[in-house]
Amino acid sequence: MVIWGGLSQAQKIRLQSQKFRQYSRFAKHEYELPEYARQMPPTRHHRWVLEEPTIDASMSILYEDERIIVADKPHGLATTPRGMWYKQTALMKIRDMYQDENIVPAHRLDRMTAGVVVFVRQKEVRGAYQMLFQEHKTTKVYECLAPCAPVRSPLVGSVEFLNKPQVFPLIRRSRIIKERGFMQAFEVCGEANSQTLITAPDDEAVYGIQYSRRGFPHVAYRTYRLYPLTGKTHQLRLHMSAIGLPIAGDDFYPVITQRHPQDLDHPLQLVARTLSFTDPIDGTYREYVSQIPLSW
């Protein structure tokens, strides 16, 4: 039996079935688009969702001009319609806000990841902005809360310490695969296809302490800054978990835990903090910073 990242195929199937059962309870009201609604763009491109959980989170606008809109996406809001989510997505909220069905995202963030997302308003420039992200011509900085603990040696891949004997900064490299039908990504043996620079800023001391039921300190958290050098699915979450520093609030890694879609009391503590790039149309340097705080 092939072992991937310490998990057997049977273990992966069991974990994924747990998550499937969780979400299947809330996806029973999805139907094909009714005939009378087929001429109502953009819903003709998506399944007609009659009911979906309401996400009680506001989304602020960091910048807008005639070409782009830069939003500060909150935790729990999917970037685009998918599966059980349609109206409760950043794209549909932006389209409704501006009454413009031509708006499309230039890139995406995971539903539980908060932070900076760029949307494009004009069809003529969509490709130019989307290619910035596809060709990795942007600079992204993420922040997360994770345990203040020793770095663990991962089962596969490598860790390069850049300033020995100090632990940070370090570069985590591994080969990540994401199979269709599985909610988790997995690290496997083989040539690395993902890299993340991980730092622990000196000005960020221990953030907070989670106490056990008996009142004893259990886990202390601190801020880490993550610089993805590649863009694999769940890369940051998987890399942090593999070195023994799982991101606070992560219900996928290291193991799947059940969470109601509307439960945002303790969301994933991962924020796309800063996004910068050279505008492909006018050549100006642009930088946007998320205002969403880390809180645990």
pLDDT, tens digit (0-9, with 9 covering 90-100), for 185-241: 999 999 999 999 999 987 655 555 554 444 545 678 899 999 999 999 999 999 999
The pLDDT of 47-52, averaged and rounded, is 61
Which residues touch 80 (CB under 8 Å, ≥6 apart)? 89, 90, 91, 105, 108
The more confidently predicted of residues 164 and 13 is: 164
Q: According to the model, what pLDDT value does residue 262 have?
A: 59
C-beta separation of 71 from 94 below 8 A: yes
- Per the prediction, the chain carries an average pLDDT of 81
Contacts of 98 (CB under 8 A, 6+ apart): 69, 121
Question: With 50 as the cut, is the pLDDT of residue 51 above it?
Answer: yes
pLDDT of residue 216: 47
Q: What is the pLDDT of residue 208?
A: 53
Per-residue pLDDT tens digits for 226-274: 999 999 999 999 999 999 999 999 989 998 887 766 566 788 999 999 9
Q: What percent of the chain has pLDDT over 70?
A: 76
Distance between CA atoms of 136 and 105, rounded to whole angstroms?
Answer: 16
What's the pLDDT score for residue 226?
98
User: 84: Cβ–Cβ under 8 A, 6 or more apart, which residues?
Assistant: 23, 26, 27, 30, 49, 52, 53, 261
Only one residue has tokens 């910035």, namely: 132
- Report if pTM > 0.85: no
Q: Residue 135's pLDDT is what?
A: 93
What local confidence, expressed as pLDDT, does residue 19 receive?
A: 43
144-189 residue pLDDT tens = 999 988 899 999 999 999 999 999 999 999 999 998 888 899 999 9
The whole-number pLDDT of residue 44 equals 44
- Given this model, what pLDDT does residue 259 score? 74
Flag whether pLDDT at 14 surpasses 90: no
Predicted local confidence at residue 227, as pLDDT: 98
Residue 266, both tokens: 């303790």
Residue count of the chain, please give it.
Answer: 296
Average pLDDT (64-90) is 89
User: How much of the chain exceeds pLDDT 90, in percent?
Assistant: 59
82: confidence class by pLDDT, cuts 50, 70, 90 = confident
Mean pLDDT score, 122-131 = 95
Find out whether 207 and 177 touch, Cβ atoms under 8 Å: no
